[in-house]
Structure 1
Amino acid sequence: MKSIKELMDLTGRTALVTGGAGHIGTAFCEALAEAGAHIAVLDIDESRVQESAAVLAERYGVKTMGLTMDLADEAAVVASPEQVVDQLGRLDILVNCAAFVGTSKLTGWGVPFEEQNVDTWRAALETNLTAPFALVQAATPYLRESGHGSVINIGSTYGVVGPDMSLYEGTAMGNPAGYGASKGGITQLTRYLATVLAPDIRVNCISPGGIARGQHEKFVERYEARTPLNRMGTEEDMKGTLLYLASDLSAYVTGQNLMVDGGWTAW
């Protein structure tokens, strides 16, 4: 029987992390690199991608590479797994972390439902759902060859439950339909892929709760009041779950959506 240390060891494996230069993506890359995995950082901002890849290589002594692209660029997305294998030798772990959260120039995002528009809805589904579908499809041959293939999709509590709009009263924040619908889609895509890609590739999902990033104090107070652990989450809270699903610690786990939400969805 292997020890826990052996089961969590990712030495010699390679991970591709979309959104890898973002808040949660950076934490994921660090967790994987600390466990010994080589890392391909994929994100839209070239300077942040290259900086993230360089920091990981220096800090953890693993091989890294940066991939800069917009996930709406289908040709670039489907070409990326082969690029990773060409440069880093293999692909064992795919983390679909990148998400459209309304930071583009598109309007009609964090506004009342009646004001949300179709173009922004489509952009959310393109990044949050269509790109992961295309990326997993392109990565499947390499993940099968790995012998340890693991896909981890990143969902959200709002892919599982509806929003409580009272949380946002008196703030400039909102909760767009496109976000929840796309995240609900990724959890179902997880279950679909877990069955059709078995037994060679495991596919699971992590659904974070709200992450503290300086939100309006009224929102934070309300959010924490209805969270059993009485606080918002942090990026660090996600690292253990990611490592569990990426490694042999979860070798008999597939098709699951793990809620890392402080108990938010338990009520």
Structure 2
Amino acid sequence: MSDFPISLAGKLVVQFGGSGLLGRALAADLARAGAHVIVAGRDPSKLADLQTDAATAGHLLTATAVDITDEASLAALRDGLLDQHGRIDGVVFNAVSRPMAGLNDPVAAWRDSMETNATGLLLTARTFGNAMASAGSGSLVNIGSIQGMVGPNGFLYEGTEMISPPDYFFHKGGMVNLTRYLAAQYGPKGVRVNTVSPGGIFNPAKPPPDAFLQRYGQMTMTGRMAHAHEISGAVAFLLSDASTYVTGTNLPVDGGYTAK
């Protein structure tokens, strides 16, 4: 039996991007919720320990290789999963590339960012969205950011070396509206599309400066940054049968940051 508050028992969920702090937490928690999670990325060897931990806990999690900027690679993954499992119940798009460090970086970095965060998003959404639409059901959850909802706050970064690059704001903002577009396209075919927009997530392995933590806490209603596992519940809810009438929405999970 699942030890997660929301059940995804019996569902096959494909998660794109799983080697980072949030991606690893999401993959582990969706498996805990009972889903068979296929974590797809360019280097599945980075997820070997995550797969081992899931197996030890009696959960189903499989790491596999894919290039989301290559439509043939995505189609091969889709077809292989359909051949093996007969269905795809949910997709989580958590892949992200952040090559830019500031506004005046070479434009090549902007173009490189577009490959994953824009082109990769569209290719993934339609490759797997079309498959779920053909089956008449499914849920696509895009992982956005509050930085796709608001502008940068320079106050947070004063006196630190932390950066706020333009490509991330552009792509996460575009993701929210592409979500609405896809929801309109796929809704009549039984597929729901939503975005979850996390606030800042605390990384214990690379903690931000104390000044940033204090300022960020003041910007929220909870007085702190999020922990990675606190994002999982919203994603699991949108993948689950508890949200069958929720589509085209952007759900901030930000401790009240964007509500202040």
State TM-score, norm by structure 2: 0.90
User: Which residue of the partner structure matches residue 243 of structure 2?
Assistant: 250
Aligned to 2:165: 176
- Of 224, 231, 252, the residue aligned with 1:231 is 224
Residue 71 (structure 1) shift: 3.2
Instruction: After superposition, give the CA deviation of every residue in 1:70-105 in whole Å (9 maximum; x if it has no partner).
Output: 433443234322222233432110000111133xxx
Residue of structure 1 equivalent to 2:101 = 110
Per-residue CA deviations over 1:50-75 (Å, capped at 9, x if unaligned) read: 3323332332333x432224433443
CA distance in 2, matches of 1:38, 1:146: 18
Is residue 2:119 matched to residue 1:122?
no
Letter in 2 for 1:158: Q
In 1, are the aligned partners of 2:29 and 2:229 still within 8 Å (CA)?
no
**Cα distance change, pair 132–57 in 1 and its aligned pair in 2 (3 A):** farther
Are the counterparts in 2 of residues 163 and 175 from structure 1 also a CA contact under 8 Å? yes
Partner of 1:154 in structure 2? 143
Q: Structure 1 residue runs of 4+, over 6 Å off? A: none
The CA distance in 2 between the partners of 1:251 and 1:242, in whole Å, is 13
Task: Answer whether contact 1:151 1:204 (CA < 8 A) is retained.
Answer: yes
Task: Give CA deviations for 1:153-198 in whole Å, capped at 9, x if unaligned.
Answer: 0111111110012211221111111000000111111000000101
Residues 187-239 of structure 1: CA deviation (Å, up to 9, x unaligned)? 11100000010131000000001111211222222111211211001111101
Determine helix, strand or coil for the equivalent of 1:197: helix
Matched, 1:92 2:89: yes
Kept in 2, the 8 Å contact 1:40–1:84? The answer is: no
Matched-pair identity in %: 38
What is the CA deviation profile of residues 98-127 of structure 1, one whole-angstrom value per residue up to 9, with x for unaligned ones? 11133xxxxxx223x2x2221111222221
> What runs of 5+ residues in structure 1 fail to find an aligned partner?
103-108
Q: Distance in 2 between matches of 1:124 and 1:226?
A: 28
Work out the CA distance in 2 between the residues paired with 1:93 and 1:242: 10
C-alpha spacing 1:261/1:92, structure 2 compared with 1 (3 Å): same
DSSP-derived class of the 2:57 partner: helix
Query: Which one is further off, 245-254 or 117-126?
Result: 117-126
Correspondence for 2:37: 39
The one-letter amino acid paired with 2:74 is V
Could you give the per-residue CA deviations for residues 17-54 of structure 1, whole angstroms, max 9, x where no partner exists?
01123221222222221222111111233322333233
Deviation for aligned residue 1:8: 4.3
Which secondary structure does the structure 1 equivalent of 2:251 belong to? strand
Distance across 2 between alignment mates of 1:54 and 1:171: 38
Q: Count residues in correspondence.
A: 253
Find the counterpart in structure 1 of residue 176 from structure 2. 187
How far apart, CA to CA, are the structure 2 residues paired with 1:90 and 1:54?
A: 24
